[in-house]
Amino acid sequence: MPKMTMVQALNLALRQEMEKDDSVIVLGEDVGVDGGVFRVTDGLIDVFGERRVVDTPLAESAIAGMSIGMAVYGLKPVCEMQFDGFSYYTMHQVEAHASRLRWRSQGRYHVPMVLRAPFGGGVRALEHHSESREVFWAHIPGLKMVIPSGPRNARALLVSAIRDPDPVIFYEPKAVYRAFREEVPEEEETFPIGKSQRVREGRDLTLIAYGAMMRPTLEAAEALKQKHGVEADVIDLLTISPLDDSLLVESARRTGRVAVVHEAPRSFGPGAEVVARLVEKAFFHLEAPVARVTGYDVVIPLFNRENHYLPGVPRIIDAARKLLAA
């Protein structure tokens, strides 16, 4: 199997789905000639032409709104937001229409679009290029919100997202884009949307994370084992909404000690929903209050201080040790 970065793996997913199905259309700002500012769509215009790889004028709301129309007509648009910080222009179209057309038309229409956006901190970028606002989307009924954590699951989940009959917001952790390579099978592979995954087995505590936070979380799990002899069960959410709580609940019931890690701000963040599910379904098995290791409730600082904002290994270990001491 070839080893790929997440950027290459996403490119592979787009290329193969476009080859297989001529209803798949890529559109967005600079996705064609430039190949996308992160090069996720690199070379697609050479293979599929301007008819299917569409460089649009600069208007995020129009990109989303037009994607809705294309999708209702039976195409499968994959639109790109250059950065998630510019995707709020699409909120009206996505909330008012993409998420509701199945319901509003009582099943006659549906919106099989994918809205891709790089998100998250850690690449020394400008303002609006580093935040994590996944809950904005996760809170909207009718939408799916997917966040891969590595090349292989990114490719497999993007394929699933393109084929999904419902609108999918696909957030790509840009800190992971070129951070490491992973074996990605050339042949088709899909991962189910709405399923979390156990990525490390343990019995002492549960660490729940997703996206770029998987790496510090796994590093913390390894350090906990090496330095403290503690075995952490680590779960990668992969889909934020609809949230699959079966694995979380099973693990929490077993370990009784749980921390959830995300770079989004703490209050009303994805961790709040995880805590609520565990309180509802594993309350009598919990040995300690569920910990949240998250970004602070401030605007993510410009890049010179962003590493202080982003949860790192020491903060995860600190939370884990408190859980174990409880």
Interface positions, 60-79, toward other proteins (CB under 8 A): 61-62
Min CB(183)–other proteins separation in Å: 29
Exactly one of 129, 139, 228, 285 is catalytic; name it: 129
The span of 31-39, 147-155, 232-240, 245-253 binding other proteins (CB under 8 A) equals: 31-39
Min CB(39)–other proteins separation in Å: 10
If one asks whether residue 228 binds other proteins (CB under 8 A), the answer comes out as no
Q: Which CB, 222 or 318, lies closer to other proteins? A: 318
If one asks whether residue 58 binds other proteins (CB under 8 A), the answer comes out as yes
If one asks whether residue 57 binds other proteins (CB under 8 A), the answer comes out as yes
In angstroms, the Cα distances linking 181 to 6, 142, 198, 233, 285 are: 7, 33, 20, 24, 38
If one asks whether residue 316 binds other proteins (CB under 8 A), the answer comes out as no
d(CA 320, CA 264): 19
Min CB(217)–other proteins separation in Å: 16
If one asks whether residue 312 binds other proteins (CB under 8 A), the answer comes out as yes
Q: Closest Cα partner for 196 from 246, 161, 139?
A: 246
- How many residues are recorded in the chain? 326
Q: Closest Cα partner for 140 from 64, 209, 73?
A: 64
Q: Which CB, 58 or 279, lies closer to other proteins? A: 58
State whether residue 43 is helix, strand or coil.
Answer: coil
If one asks whether residue 303 binds other proteins (CB under 8 A), the answer comes out as yes
Interface positions, 262-291, toward other proteins (CB under 8 A): 266-267
Instruction: Give the angle subtended at the CA of 66 by the CAs of 149 and 177, to the nearest 5°.
Output: 20
Using CB under 8 A, pick the residue from 298, 320, 325, 326 that binds other proteins: 298
Tally of CB atoms within 10 A around 45: 20
The region that residue 185 occupies, defined by phi over 0 for left and psi between -120 and 50 for alpha, beta otherwise, is beta
Site string for other proteins, 104-143 (x = CB under 8 A): --------------------xxxxx---------------
Phi/psi for 154 (5° steps) reads -65, -45
If one asks whether residue 86 binds other proteins (CB under 8 A), the answer comes out as yes
Task: Supply the angle between the helices 6-20 and 151-163 in degrees, to the nearest 10.
Answer: 30
Q: Which residues are catalytic?
A: 129
